[in-house]
Each structure stands twice: as C-alpha cells, then as structure tokens.
Amino acid sequence: MSRKNEQAFRERAAADALADQGRWQDAAESYRALAEAGSQDEVLFHNWGVTLRELARPQEAIAAFEQALGLKPSYAKAFHGLSLAYRDLGAADSARMAIELALENDPGRDIFRLELIDQLIHAGEWDAALQQADRFDRDDPGYPVAQNLKGLALRKTGSMAAALDAFGHAIDADPRFAAPLQNRANLHLRARRFSLAVADFDAAIALAPQTAWLAGLRLYAAMHVFDWRGHAQQRQTLLKRVEAGEPVAQPLIVQHLTDDPALQQVAAKTWAARTLPTPRLAERHLGFPAGRKIRIAYVSRDFHSHPVAYLIAEVLALHDRQVFDVAVINYGSGSDDPMQRRLRAGVDAFLDVQHSSDEQIVQICRELSIDIAVDLTGYTDHARSAIFAHRIAPVQVLYLGYLGTAGAALYDYVVADRYLVDERTRGFVDEKLMVLPSYQANDRQRPRPAGGDQRAIAGLPENAFVFCCFNNPAKLTPSMFAAWARILGRVPGSVLWLLAEEDEAIRNLRSHAAELGLDPAWLVFADRCDRETYLARLASADLFLDTLPYNAGTTASDALWMGLPVLTQAGQSFAGRMASSLLHAVGLPELVVATQDEYVDTAVALATDGDSFNELRNRLQENRDSAVLFDTPAFTRCLELAYLTALSGTQEGDIAVGETIAPHRSDTPWHIGNTAITSP
C-alpha cells in the first residue's frame, strides 16, 4: 500500500471510529472532508451515508450511497443503505427496487433478505413475505428475526394462532431476542389474555427496557387484571417521561393514567411524530362537488359487534341520501355477525380493505373522490392512522372511537360538544372543533331486554343495593377503587358488580378490598357475555358508578338506555368528561359532580334515600326516549350540517351547530350561507 493510500486509510479509520462511538456529527464532517479532498473510496461514501441516516438527513444519505455505487456498481451494502434511506423518505417503490438490487448482488446475505420481508409486510404483500420467511432454515443466523417477521405478517392476515406459533419459534431460537416477546405480548393483550401478556412484557422489558412504548403497554396490561404492584411509582415515572416527550406510552394508555389534557396532548404528539408519516399538507379543494352527491366515507376497523358500531349504525342509515352517498372503508375483518350485516345494508358502499396496504387504501379513497372522511378509530387498537396522514379527502374528521386530539395535522376537525371541551381546555385540542348540541351518536334500535332473573343468575343478594360498573377493567384505578370502598362501607348491605375476565383479576381485586377493610364478598364479578344479556344486567343494577380519568362511553349510554342512572365525576380531559356529556344530554346534570368526596357522598345519598332515588330513576325511564341523547334523527341532521359547513369552506374556525335544529326533510335543500345543496 502506498504512503498516500495508507494516509487515506488511516483518515477513514479515524472517521469510522467516530461513527462507532456514536459521534455522528463529527463522523459526518470527517467523511465530508475526505470526500471533498477527492477520495475515491466506495466504503467511505457508504459509511458517510450510514452516518447521514443516523443524523436524519436521508436526502444527503441517498447522494452518498449513490456516489458509492458510482464507484462500485455491484456494492450490495450501498444498495441496502440506499433502500433504507428511501424508506426514511416514505419512497416505498424506490426502497423496494434498491433492496432487490442488493439481493441481486449478494443473494445470500440474511440482512438483505430480512429487509425485503419487512418491506413486503409494509407493502401489504403478506403472502410474499411469508414465502420469503419460510426460506430461512433453523440453522440460519437470521431465523429468529425471520420468524418474528413471519408472525407480524400472519397477524396482518388475521391468523392469530399461527402468529403466536411463529413468535414462539423466534423466542425458542433466541431467548435473548426481545421483539417477539413484545409481539406475542401484544397478541395476548389483543386476545384479552392479560396475565400472559404481563409475563411476556416483563420478559421483554428485562431484555430491552428502553424499547419504545413497552413500559406503557406492560402497565396497561397489568391494569386489566388489577395488578397494582408498584402502580403508583410506575405511573409517576411513566408520566414524567411522557411529559419529556419520550416514546413510553401510547396516547390511549396515557388517557387511562391521567386526567391532564396537556399530558394527553403531549402523548399524542409524541406518538404521531414517532409512528406516522409527516402529514401531507397538499392544498385542500373545499366546496361542493358539481353534478353528484357529497361522498362521506367512514373509516375504521370496528364495523362489527363493537361499541363504535353499536353507536354509529343508525346514523349511517339515516344520512340524507338526497344529498349524501355514504361509504364504509373497513380495514377490520369481514364477518357475518348481525351488526356487520346491518351496517352493510345501511350504506351505499361497504369496502373491505383489511388486506390492502395503507397506500392502496389511500388510492381507493382518492379514486372514489371522497369529500368527507371520518376516522372512527383514531389511536385505538390496530388503528391505521397513516391513511389520514396521506390526505384522502378535503375534510378529515376524528370522531367517536378515540377521545382527544391527534397531536398532528391528520384531521381538520374533532367532533365535540360544549361539555367535552370548554374555554379552559380548548388549547389542548389541536384540530378545529365541530361542536354539536350532544356529542355521542346513538342507536334507537338497540334492544331493551328486561332485567328478569339476572340478579339470581349473577349471585347477587336479592334485596341489596347493587352498585355496578361494567367498564373495561383497565379504567379502574387504585384511587377509584378506594372511593368505591368508601361508598360500600357507608351503605350497609350494598354490593359492587364488576367485570372481570380472569381468575387472577378476581383474586387481585378481592385482595385489594380486604386491604381496605371490606368484605371481599361484597364484590360480585361478571364475565363477558352476549349483548342482550349484558344490557339485561344493566337493567338489574341500581346505580352505575363511573370511572375517572377515563369515563364510560358506550357503556354509560347503554346504562341510561336501560334506565340505569350513572354517577360521574367530571374531569378535565375529553375522556374524563364523556359521561358528563351524556348525562346533560339525557337530562340528569345532577349526577355530574366535581370532586371525589362529592362523588362518594352523592352515591351514598342515592343508595340510602329511597324516595329521592326512585324519583330520579323514574324520571330517567320516563324521559329517556325523548331526550337529546337518543334523538338520532336530530343528531344526524346536526352532524350533517357540521359536515356541510366544513366542506363549504365558509367558516375558518370551529363550527358550532345550534342547541336545536329543525328536522330536515330530504325533499328540501340544505342551505349553507347563500348556497343551496340539492341532489344532482
């Protein structure tokens, strides 16, 4: 080696050492200086590209990788780096071409094969991904990663049992590999096997404690089985990290941990920045379409027997078909359950896109020329919020499934009412608001079964005052349970009827009750059941005790529908004011209290003053069918008016629909400003 080459080698080695130390900026400057000095070393340009990617400068990284390939056109590692940089930019087609060229030049390298599988999964080509994953033998170094990716692809296809097996194979092959443990835990969580989820999350945390979102998921899974070991400290630590912008807890989980809308907003912003593409800020073409009806698309994975579907079903059918065409974009499963059959019959188009990639769904929506797109899922389980980042309609709305802000420019509007967001909390919602007289859609066709013998079936004392809460168990915090314990202690002969899905959950909560001085027998547990039985249970109870920081939503309106009063403490956040909104809409504002002490005192008073309680319950049962909460036709007209105002572009800020709105006849035009909207 010549002296000149030796010097160049040493200088590159020095730059490489800086990169090895994670001193990316210093390394990048060293590589740049060497390149400007005329280096013709393809490895230098490759390493420079790697460094530029670490500095989140993908365009410059692409230029560096291309210079490496200009010096050595068969340089497979440079094609791999180029592929990763294109992925950073969201250029999926270019990334795919680059990784295929890497494999063409070095077909046996595991890291390239695994990258192709990952790209196939993200492109929605799950069968192709599975074929590639199955080409790995057990003795291949990349086998554990291939099995983990196989599990992800199987999960996308809905093959949950096979996905569990694949994750198990990955764990068996490499017990130190944290990713499949977390992925298997997520599957257990989704299948409501919470104890198994906690065990896998604990194992994953032991191996990779800094993994994004892992700490929050573990705490959330534990809350479902009332596993409150170290809860206060874990919660405090987690929320401090959320406040610092760390990716430790998904927004929905943070809503279960705090009533602080500012922290919830930070969590949403962090989630959006870390997991979603930069929202497309393309020009929005507002205005009413010429020569056709306005097209509304409701987008979700929950168009089946699910709380969101139970609420929205009648609204979809009641939309004014003289003005609107209504489509459903269903990226959940296609099923033959009664609710999905009803939804399919109630809309103009029902598109099953479960097996389509985000990009394909975006293209479908654009081809349909959707005018108003409504996301009914938000940041809940297995949401595909990236669809909205790509802008699928001039007006994009967040509604119903997720209670709060998205923290990013995904949506133009969030639907609310004056009880959910007020002047003090308005700054914690980044979107504009559609303020309706009442927030929640409802379905007048839901059944109303009699309570019958549900008390006897459940083992409830015949003459007891029955407090109940059938909220998701994760909504029950130690503080909330302590308040309930105070109530039970002051109401002789009362019991508390709760939802629990695992024996461990029952054991844990009875243990907590004993620690608070309660007889564990005062707790009665219900398991999951069919919808009519669940509604009949609500009719058999006396008073529904709501939770904070995350209120009952569908469960609260179900209770009110069945004539069961709901007591809530109003919080500060959107999720902490849901029951308050419902109680105002059903004409029972006196059941909304401000403090926990008032919550306890009110519950005790209602349970011990039979005359007052009976008057309140009779009033609910007499007035519920005429209440604003269950006036679905009027609600639908209000929602339509908000949609039309947004699409017209005649109002720049929040849209507020009046407290009352006259019923709209489908044979008369809507008027927005001076514009009449009629069917074509």
Domain locations in the chain? 3-211, 294-436, 454-630
Listed in sequence order, the residues at least 6 apart from 447 whose beta carbon sits closer than 8 Å to its beta carbon are: 531, 532, 535
Residue 9 has pLDDT above 90, yes or no: no
Mean pLDDT in residue range 162-176: 98
Residue 6 has pLDDT above 60, yes or no: yes
Residue 212 has pLDDT above 70, yes or no: yes
Binning pLDDT at 50, 70 and 90, where does residue 573 land? very high
DSSP, collapsed to helix, strand or coil, labels residue 546 as: coil
- C-alpha separations of 557 from 41, 470, 579, 634 in Å: 68, 12, 8, 17
Residue with tokens 């995350």: 550
| DSSP bridge partners of 670 | 677
Contact 121, 153 (CB under 8 A): yes
- For 68, phi then psi, to 5°, come to -60, -40
Binning pLDDT at 50, 70 and 90, where does residue 4 land? low
What pLDDT score does 677 carry? 66
| DSSP bridge partners of 223 | none
* Encoded tokens for 516: 């608070």
- Comparing 248-262, 351-365, 389-403, the range with the smallest average pLDDT is 351-365
The domain made up of 3-211 is a member of CATH 1.25.40.10: yes
The 3-class secondary structure across 633-678, one letter per residue, is HHHHHHHHHHHHHHHHCCCCCCEECCCCCCCCCCCCCEEECCEEEC
* Fold that domain 294-436 belongs to in CATH: Rossmann fold (3.40.50)
Contact 618, 590 (CB under 8 A): no
Q: Classify residue 674 by burial, with Cβ atoms within 10 Å: 0-12, 13-18, 19+.
A: exposed
Comparing C-alpha atoms, which of 286, 283, 343 is closest to residue 316?
343
| DSSP bridge partners of 417 | 436
**Angle of CA points 626, 630, 635, to nearest 5°:** 110
Mean pLDDT in residue range 250-267: 98
Mean pLDDT in residue range 299-325: 97
Amino acid at 556: A
Mean pLDDT in residue range 135-147: 96
User: What are 493-516's pLDDT values in tens digits?
Assistant: 999 999 998 999 999 999 999 999
Residue 141 has pLDDT above 70, yes or no: yes
Burial 36-56 (b: 16+ CB within 10 A, else e): eeebebbbbbbbbbbbbbeee
Phi-psi region of 673 (alpha: psi -120 to 50; beta: other; left: phi over 0): left
Neighbouring CB atoms inside 10 A of 445's CB total: 11
User: What are 635-644's pLDDT values in tens digits?
Assistant: 999 999 999 9
> What does the mean pLDDT of the chain come to?
94
- Residue 227 Cα to chain centre, angstroms: 23
Higher pLDDT, 460 or 355: 460
The CATH architecture assigned to 454-630 reads 3-Layer(aba) Sandwich (3.40)
Mean pLDDT in residue range 9-17: 84
| DSSP bridge partners of 497 | 468, 524
Mean pLDDT in residue range 592-611: 97
Dihedral sign for Cα 508, 458, 306, 633, please: negative
Q: How far apart are CA 182 and CA 6, in angstroms?
A: 47
Mean pLDDT in residue range 574-597: 98
> How do 670-672 and 675-677 pair as beta strands?
antiparallel
Q: How far apart are CA 41 and CA 35, in angstroms?
A: 9
What pLDDT score does 659 carry? 60
Q: How far apart are CA 3 and CA 654, in angstroms?
A: 71
* Encoded tokens for 484: 């309930």
Mean pLDDT in residue range 269-293: 88
| Cα atoms found within 13 Å of the Cα of residue 476, Cβ hemisphere only | 28
Q: How far apart are CA 400 and CA 77, in angstroms?
A: 47
Contact 654, 432 (CB under 8 A): yes
Listed in sequence order, the residues at least 6 apart from 68 whose beta carbon sits closer than 8 Å to its beta carbon are: 42, 43, 44, 45, 46, 49, 75, 78, 81
Comparing C-alpha atoms, which of 151, 97, 597 is closest to residue 82?
97
Binning pLDDT at 50, 70 and 90, where does residue 336 land? confident
What pLDDT score does 1 carry? 46
Percent of the chain with pLDDT over 70: 95
DSSP, collapsed to helix, strand or coil, labels residue 192 as: coil
Integer-rounded Cα radius of gyration of the chain: 28
Binning pLDDT at 50, 70 and 90, where does residue 520 land? very high
**Given this chain, do its domains 3-211 and 294-436 carry the same CATH topology?**
no
pTM: 0.92
| Cα atoms found within 13 Å of the Cα of residue 396, Cβ hemisphere only | 29
Listed in sequence order, the residues at least 6 apart from 557 whose beta carbon sits closer than 8 Å to its beta carbon are: 311, 440, 442, 582, 629
Burial 318-349 (b: 16+ CB within 10 A, else e): bbbebbbbbbbbbbbeeeeeebbebbbebbee
